[in-house]
Amino acid sequence: IGDVVARYKRMRGFNVLHPMGWDAFGMPAENAAIANKTHPARWTYANIDTMRSQLKRLGFSYDWQREVATCRPEYYRWEQWLFLRMYEKGLAFRKESYVNWCDPCQTVLANEQVEAGACWRCGKPVRQKKLWQWFFRITHYAEDLLAHCDQLPGWPEKVITMQRNWIGRSTGAEIRFPLESGRGEIAVFTTRPDTVFGATFMCLAPEHPLVPELCRGRPQEEEVMAFVERISHQDRSDRALESYEKEGVFTGAYCLNPLNGRRMPVFTANFALMAYGTGGVMSVPAHDQRDFEFARKYGLEVVVVVMPPERPLNPGTMTEAYTGEGRMVNSGAFDGLPNTRAKEAIVDHLEKNALGRRTVSFRLRDWGISRQRYWGAPIPVIHCDRCGVVPVPESQLPVVLPEEADLLAGGRSPLPELESFVRVDCPACGRPARRETDTMDTFVESSWYFERFCSPECGQGMFDPAAVAYWMPVDQYIGGVEHAILHLLYSRFYTRVLQDEGLLDFKEPFTRLLTQGMVCKETVACPEHGFLFPSDVAPGSSGAQSCARCGRPVQVGRVEKMSKSKRNVIDPNTLLDRYGADTTRLFCLFAAPPEKDLEWSEQGVDGSFRFLNRVWRLAADWMDAVHSAAPYDGPPEVLEEGLKALLRKTHLTI
């Protein structure tokens, strides 16, 4: 699709930058290398060569002089350079946070590598482990990223909606509840300050630092800590699901409702998430369904504070929370107000009495970029016992990933044990120190490659600012909808960082976005051999297909996105050998509108082939006649009817 746009624009006289490059670091390459008993570098460079030759055979109008591979030090050194600038500004920082951890494999797992709570590789349960990790402070730009969602008219509405929801801005209040013991308080974030009088208990995330403190020395301590340990094995995103079983335990402590003094038992509960708001939830069972289910399960008090106009609620017989609007009851001086007005009035009251304040919460979290994996760009810092974290001096960049290192058993990164890599002198004090062995998330590389394409050879910096000023932003970006959130949001963030560094002068990298459909094909499975590649399927007798290996009749399954795991893929080279590039390209363009999924069909390809042949034969058959014909550019009115019809048909065809 991109090639069509590029050729069209070129024919219309535009200068078109139409590049190709390789987003080459990361887990897929590493895992494929492990599976194929080879090295990620070898695997990657071999794949690049194969794919380059395939793309060349397809005749795309790429500017191959601009080819970039993100796993080359010439590329990632600039990413390391920007990391150091971000570190200076506090936009790159280190904090302890929870990761999926597999003990047998001694490695961190991405969410996608955790299957039903178990390690995808060894099948043993995964636990949440606290590790020091590097982050990019994308939340610094949350407000701006959200605001500019309104200024992307060239993007599909569904992608903008997904970005908005991901950033997830909620307005509400932070309210503080003093502990009954008098030693401290619990802060909560709520979007419903109108319901404070109905808050009957408190829930803290199991990871909340107050939890061990509150139960210490109490009879509940053992049970609470066992619960915390058990919940640490639950998937954090599952815990947020409405359908997930809600559970909790009483810590033994109480806090006080700041508006009516009610004693509220403090629980720790799995549905309270440390990563949102303050990690504490004031629970209002009458008006929040999660809190309601929790209260019924543990026999906790339900107090109605918002009364619906038509039918009064009875806390004893309610079967679900009431989340609609109504008039305030059981709320002291605020009784009788519509709850929407009480919201404002109560926050005013809290602010006046220094019990809380208006605030905004974002769902967006800072971007964890640490990977305890080998095949990625090294994070350019050094750890020194005396000086702490010391940035690698700019003059020592790039920190080159040692490409000769072999992966260890279970895919573990060799870096922490590779003395030649790890051992360095501290740039600050000169004593022996250790190099950071985490590598960067590959989404960092894909957050600025479009700028690199503008001056791919630039050795003076990430890019030549004049080239970027000339070419960027990208006029037409094309990609799969699977990038609707992560890649597109990270790129928007990174562009803002570059703008604040004074390196470029815009914040939105992509003016128009097309999310193209996926190429899909039916799956074929043999009862004996599982999914089959098309080349392993034989046309059986009486039209039915069979397995080429065992001859059994095969099962034709659903039409799904092409993927190697399902084997419903077509090797471009077989098509190119049989039909050539024109047919292959024509089929891809005509099979479906660009945004729609495309169902691969042999008949469709064949149809394109026959069409092109007809055009060819027509032209060839009439070649002599056409050669000797004089061009006609007179007025059509004077033509005889037959020629007039021919002229009309010619233009229609064009």
Can you give the binding site for ligand ANZ, defined by CB under 6 A?
Answer: 170, 189-192, 195, 205, 271-273, 276-277, 279, 281-282, 284, 287-288, 361
Cα separation, 246 vs 182, whole angstroms:
29
* Residue number with CB closer to Zn ion (104 or 461): 104
Q: Position 537: which residue type?
A: V
Can you give the C-alpha Rg of the chain in angstroms? 31
Q: Is the peptide bond before 572 cis (omega within 30 degrees of 0)?
A: no
What residue has token string 């397809």?
Answer: 58
In angstroms, give the least distance from the CB of 112 to ligand ANZ. 23
Identify which of residues 328 and 532 has a Cβ nearer to ligand ANZ in the complex: 328
**What is the distance between the alpha carbons of residues 228 and 298, in angstroms, rounded to a whole number?**
18
Residue 68 binding result from ligand ANZ, Zn ion, none, given CB thresholds of 5 to 8 Å by partner type = none
Residue 105, binding choice from ligand ANZ, Zn ion, none, Cβ under 5 to 8 Å by partner class: Zn ion
Query: Nearest to Zn ion by Cβ — which residue?
Result: 119
* Residue 192 site contact among Zn ion, ligand ANZ, none (CB < 5 to 8 Å, cut-off depends on kind): ligand ANZ
Q: 122 contacts which partner out of Zn ion, ligand ANZ, none, CB within 5 to 8 A by kind?
A: Zn ion
Q: Smallest distance from the beta carbon of 54 to Zn ion, in angstroms?
A: 35
Closest approach of ligand ANZ to the CB of residue 201, in Å: 11
Cβ-proximal residues to 399 (8 Å cutoff; 6+ apart), any chain = 80, 378, 380, 392, 435
Q: Is the peptide bond before 414 cis (omega within 30 degrees of 0)?
A: no
* 270 interacts with, out of Zn ion, ligand ANZ, none, CB within 5 to 8 A per kind: none
- Please identify, using beta-carbon distances, which residue of 6 and 342 lies nearer to ligand ANZ: 342
- Among Zn ion, ligand ANZ, none, the one that 282 touches (CB under a kind-dependent 5 to 8 A) is ligand ANZ
201 binds, among ligand ANZ, Zn ion, none (CB under 5 to 8 A by kind): none
CB of 412 to Zn ion, least distance (A): 11
Type and span of the H or E element at 539 = strand 537-539
Q: What is residue 426's DSSP assignment?
A: -
Quick note: the x/- pattern for Zn ion over 358-377, rule CB under 5 A, is --------------------
Other beta carbons less than 10 A from residue 319's beta carbon: 6
293 versus 464: smaller Cβ distance to ligand ANZ: 293
Rounded CA separation 21/453 (Å): 8
Q: Which of the choices ligand ANZ, Zn ion, none does residue 383 contact, using the CB cut-off of 5 to 8 A by kind?
A: none
Q: What is the DSSP letter of 191?
A: S
Instruction: Give the separation between CA 155 and CA 597, rounded to whole angstroms.
Output: 18
Least CB distance to Zn ion at residue 121 (A):
5
Q: Please name every residue paired with 185 in a beta bridge, in sequence order, or none if there are none.
A: 178
- What residue type is 401 in one-letter code? L
Q: Which does 66 bind (CB under 5 to 8 A by kind): ligand ANZ, Zn ion, none?
A: none
- As a whole number of angstroms, the longest Cα–Cα distance in the chain is 106
Q: What is the DSSP string of 545-599?
A: EEETTT-PBPEEEEEEE--TTTT----HHHHHHHT-HHHHHHHHHHSS-TTS-EE
Contact partner at residue 276 from ligand ANZ, Zn ion, none, CB < 5 to 8 Å by partner kind = ligand ANZ
- CA-CA distance, 540 to 544, in Å (whole number)? 5
- The CA-based angle 423-429-432, given to 5 degrees, is 20
CB-nearer residue toward ligand ANZ: 18 or 287:
287
Least distance in Å: CB of 272 to ligand ANZ?
Answer: 4
Residue 259 CA to residue 268 CA, distance in Å, equals 22
Minimal distance in Å, beta carbon 489 to ligand ANZ? 18
Of the candidates 574, 599, 576, 580, the one whose C-alpha atom is nearest the C-alpha of residue 588 is 599
Number of residues engaging Zn ion in binding (CB under 5 A): 6
Closer CB to Zn ion, 108 or 199, in the complex: 108
CB-wise, 241 or 646, nearer to ligand ANZ?
241
- Nearest residue (CB) to Zn ion, 114 versus 481: 114
If the CB atoms of residues 356 and 376 are measured against ligand ANZ, the closer one turns out to be 356
Residue 585 CB neighbour total at 10 angstroms: 16
Residue type present at position 375: W
For residue 377, give the DSSP letter. Answer: P
CA distances from 536 to 525, 539, 575 (A): 10, 10, 16
The nearer residue to Zn ion, 100 or 515, going by C-beta atoms, is 100
- CB 35 → Zn ion: shortest distance, Å? 15
Site string for Zn ion, 82-121 (x = CB under 5 A): --------------------x-xx-------------x-x
* Dist. CA 415–CA 373, nearest whole Å: 8
Least spacing, CB of residue 586 vs ligand ANZ, in Å: 48
Q: Answer with the entry of Zn ion, ligand ANZ, none that 551 interacts with (C-beta below 5 to 8 A by kind).
A: none
Question: What is the smallest separation between the CB atom of 188 and ligand ANZ, expressed in angstroms?
Answer: 6
x/- map, 46-85, Zn ion, by CB under 5 A: ----------------------------------------
Q: Which is nearer to Zn ion, 119 or 295 (CB)?
A: 119
119 binds, among Zn ion, ligand ANZ, none (CB under 5 to 8 A by kind): Zn ion
Distances in whole angstroms, Cα of residue 369 to Cα of each of 26, 110, 137, 379: 12, 11, 10, 9
- Say if residues 584 and 578 touch (Cβ distance below 8 Å): no
Which lies closer to Zn ion via its Cβ, residue 121 or residue 412? Answer: 121
Q: Indicate which single residue of 122, 241, 333, 556 sits in contact with Zn ion (rule: CB under 5 A).
A: 122
Q: Which of residues 3-22 bind Zn ion (CB under 5 A)?
A: none
Smallest distance, ligand ANZ to C-beta of residue 233, A: 18
Q: Which residues contact 392 (CB under 8 A, 6 or more apart)?
A: 80, 84, 380, 381, 382, 399, 427
- Report how far residue 581's alpha carbon sits from residue 575's, in angstroms, rounded to the nearest whole number: 8
How far apart are CB 574 and ligand ANZ at their closest, in Å? Answer: 50
Q: Which among 96, 106, 300, 303 has a CA at the least distance from the CA of 209?
A: 96
Given the complex with ligand ANZ, which of 104 and 168 has the nearer CB atom? Answer: 168
Question: Which residue, 119 or 586, is less far from Zn ion as judged by CB?
Answer: 119
- Residue 361's binding partner out of Zn ion, ligand ANZ, none, with CB under 5 to 8 Å set by partner kind: ligand ANZ
User: Least distance (Å) from ligand ANZ to the CB of residue 45?
Assistant: 46
**Residue whose pair of structure tokens reads 């790129």 in the numeric block:** 491
CA 213, chain centre distance (Å) = 36
Q: Taking CB within 5 to 8 Å according to partner kind, which of ligand ANZ, Zn ion, none is near residue 287?
A: ligand ANZ
Query: Could you tell me the smallest distance in angstroms from the CB atom of residue 54 to ligand ANZ?
Result: 46
389-412 as b/e, with b when 16 or more CB fall inside 10 Å? ebbbeeeebbbebeeebebbeebb
Q: How far is the CB of 126 from ligand ANZ (least distance, A)?
A: 22
Q: What is the DSSP letter of 407?
A: P
Residues in the chain: 654
Q: Which is nearer to ligand ANZ, 242 or 637 (CB)?
A: 242
Binding residues for Zn ion (CB under 5 A): 102, 104-105, 119, 121-122
